[in-house]
Amino acid sequence: MLDVRDVHKWYGSVHAVRGVSFAARRGEVVGLLGPNGAGKSTTIRMITGVFPPTRGAIAVDGYSTVDAPEAARRAIGYLPESAPLYPEMSVDGYLAFRAALFEIPSGDRQRLIERAIDRVAIGPMRTRRIATLSKGYRQRVGLAAAMLHEPGLLILDEPANGLDPAQIRQMRETIRSLAQNACVLLSSHILAEVELTCDRVVIIANGVILADGTPAALREQHASGRARIVVEVAKADASQAEAALRSLHETTVQVAAGDAEWVTLLVEGTDAVATRTAIGQTLVRVGIPCRTLHAEAPSLEQVFTKLLEQSRTEAAA
């Protein structure tokens, strides 16, 4: 559905995007993740045809954004950052205007407007002027407008910006349901949101892609050298368990947290599977039951931070 190949963008002497390549298919939610000024919005704007790439090629549904811009734009639904809308228009009026811009046949127009209104749950607001809507509702109107013509590629620039937690959850559910029939590309700097919403993450910084993969694969791929195993034992057994685990080869043990009944121990070892097996065998041998025994994966935030630091170090070198 989307094919971005070796795309570059120069703003005068500033090389904002440097050889970005990735692809996305229908049914996939891809998150474009990066710090401010990383090149996310520039990449999105090149895909949506706000401006062309200085070098490289972008194809949407097989149409080049440079050679067949109108066909490519027809395949895209775009929600820009902050959902710019005409405040003086009513929700219904705005959606009808967008339907006319995409030349949706008049026979289908009302049905598609109703469908979009239903999907983002803005029915009670449809006759209201956009100026009187809350930020969350405006974002939803923008999303309804983007999905109105049933595009194959939905591009959402910071869709969760300025929304409260309940609205973010609703937005996440809507995005997931839209991905059933389309490819969704969203940019965000809210890592937890990307982790929850996206099937795949493309991490970008200084105009370069640092990583591309599923959140789980990225966590595994970029885990630090030592495995961290979480062990939860009864408080009464904690000191005995700690002593037993300290005797294991090449491991360190620390007490991470605890309450009135249970204590969490963090054991670091060289290999996740071997360390976990050794912990299990040791606890069985000393007769201490444990409630939890699992390897702690690094969060996407840790992966993101690590990749950014690496990128900065390489840039400085």
Partner 1 sequence: MNVTLAIARREWASLFRLPVGWVTVALFLMLCGSVFALAVLNPGMAASQRAFFGAAGWLLLPVVPAISMRLFSEELRSGTIEPLITSPVREGSIVLGKYLGAAAMLACMLAPTLLYSLVLWRVSARPPELGPLMAGYLSLLLPGLFYLSLGTKCSAFTANQTLAFLATLFILLLLLLGSALLPNLAPLTWRPTLAYLSFDARIQDFAKGVIDPRHAVYFVGASIPPLLLAGVALRARRLA
Binding residues for partner 1 (CB under 8 A): 45, 48-52, 69-71, 73-74, 76, 78, 80, 82, 84-86, 88-89, 93, 97-98, 100-103, 142, 145
Q: How far is the CB of 34 from partner 1 (least distance, A)?
A: 20
Q: How far is the CB of 188 from partner 1 (least distance, A)?
A: 18
Nearest to 187 by CA among 15, 35, 26: 35
**Closer CB to partner 1, 71 or 297, in the complex:** 71
Q: How far is the CB of 251 from partner 1 (least distance, A)?
A: 55
Instruction: Tell me the sheet residues that pair with 201.
Output: 31, 213
Nearest to 145 by CA among 204, 200, 77, 73: 77
Q: Could you tell me which residues come within 8 angstroms of residue 23 by beta carbon, excluding any fewer than 6 positions away?
A: 2, 3, 4
Q: How far is the CB of 163 from partner 1 (least distance, A)?
A: 18
**Closer CB to partner 1, 149 or 276, in the complex:** 149
**Closer CB to partner 1, 64 or 264, in the complex:** 64
**Closer CB to partner 1, 146 or 201, in the complex:** 146
CA distance 223 to 246: 23
Q: How far is the CB of 51 from partner 1 (least distance, A)?
A: 5
**Closer CB to partner 1, 38 or 130, in the complex:** 130
**Closer CB to partner 1, 75 or 245, in the complex:** 75
Tell how far CA 300 is from the center of its chain.
10
**Closer CB to partner 1, 65 or 282, in the complex:** 65
Residue ranges of alpha helices (H) inside 122-214 are 135-147, 165-178, 191-197
Q: How far is the CB of 260 from partner 1 (least distance, A)?
A: 54
Query: E strands along the chain, which residues?
Result: 2-11, 14-24, 29-33, 55-60, 63-64, 76-79, 153-157, 183-188, 200-205, 208-213, 227-234, 252-258, 262-269, 290-296
Q: Could you tell me which residues come within 8 angstroms of residue 198 by beta carbon, excluding any fewer than 6 positions away?
A: 29, 30, 31, 186, 215
Q: Could you tell me which residues come within 8 angstroms of residue 261 by beta carbon, excluding any fewer than 6 positions away?
A: 234, 235
Residue 239, SS3? helix
Encoded amino acid at 74, one letter: R
Q: How far is the CB of 183 from partner 1 (least distance, A)?
A: 16
Long-range contacts of 114-117 (CB under 8 A, 24+ apart): 116/144, 116/145, 116/147, 116/148, 117/91, 117/144
Q: How far is the CB of 83 from partner 1 (least distance, A)?
A: 9
**Closer CB to partner 1, 148 or 171, in the complex:** 148
Task: Specify the DSSP class assigned to residue 226.
Answer: S
